[in-house]
Chain A
Amino acid sequence: MNEPKPVDERYYQLLHQLQALDFVLVELTLYLDTHSNDADALQQFNQISEERWKVACEFEASYGPLLQFGLSFSGYPWQWNDTPWPWQV
């Protein structure tokens, strides 16, 4: 096991922003699973989803793909193997 590649302050800032948005989305998802007719919650869900997508793109542009199987783009060389992995930061 080598030492993971060090990350800068912006990595943590963007990651934190993404985690915060994703928390809202997880909460809204589970809520909507049992309250399918709540239009306000649904509107909020769609709005935050869009915001989340923008932050994820910004994160990936600097720090590589978050997802696999074609859901994220990769630069050359193949970036998926790049550290850090989530438990290394």
Chain B
Amino acid sequence: MWVYEKKLQYPVRVSKCDPRMAKFLLEQYGGADGELAAALRYLNQRYSIPDKVIGLLTDIGTEEFAHLEMIATMVYKLTKDATPEQLIENGLGDHYANHDKALFYQNASGVPWTATYIQAKGDPIADLYEDIAAEEKARATYQWLIDMTDDVDLQDGLKFLREREVIHSLRFREAVEILKEERDRKKFF
């Protein structure tokens, strides 16, 4: 089971109301390489992966939910004081018409999240390579998000998330080596 902890993994601060950045950040909320996709991808893969990497998938999948909450917090803080006019000016008029200021699992272009963003091959190497690719794509998106804002408070939170993608990718690559080692050992004995 899961237990919620009433705190963010890392402080989220923003220095201004900025619906434009909120819209872009949705890419990491409900986009193909976003945090929701990441959490669901890893947690779902656990049931068909060798025992040696179940712990890692569980822990990274769980950490992704903490990141999802950080992105939600950023979007919330960037839009909570925005007027409908400001939302319209910054490309969130369509969003406002449907959702008011509610968050929705969609990407920066307003496309709703879909399970087709994630794969489940049942082949441990194929699944872990997908995970590594997903982390690298998320890292790239975080870099582009950082490049698009001059808000140093927002950048701080985004830089934390970017660095987490780097670590996750590294750990998944180690997991691949662990599985290869195990596979090769089985061949010889």
Contact = CB atoms under 8 A, between A and B. Distances in A.
B189 interface: no
Given A34-B175, A68-B3, A86 B8 contact: yes
Range class of the A interface residue count: 20 to 34
A87 B73 CA distance: 5
Contacts, number: 62
B8 A34 contact: no
A33 B8 contact: no
B76 interface: yes
Interface string B87-119: 000000000000000000000000000000000
A25 to B, nearest CB: 11
Interface string A14-39: 01101100110011011101110000
A34 B69 contact: no
Contact of B171 (A34, A65, A66): A34
Interface residues of B, number: 27
B146 interface: no
B60 A86 contact: no
B167 A15 contact: no
A33 B63 contact: no
B7 A87 contact: no
A78 interface: no
Contacts of B4: 67-68
Nearest to B160: A23
Contacts of B56: 30, 33-34
Contact of A87 (B3, B8, B171): B8
Given A66-B6, A87-B77, 6 more contacts: A30-B63, A34-B175, A35-B174, A86-B6, A86-B73, A87-B72
Interface of B: 3-12, 53, 55-56, 59-60, 63, 69, 72-73, 76-77, 167-168, 171, 174-175, 178
13 contacts: A19-B8, A22-B9, A23-B10, A27-B167, A30-B167, A33-B53, A33-B56, A34-B174, A35-B174, A65-B6, A66-B7, A86-B6, A86-B69
Interface of A: 15-16, 18-19, 22-23, 26-27, 29-31, 33-35, 64-69, 71, 85-87
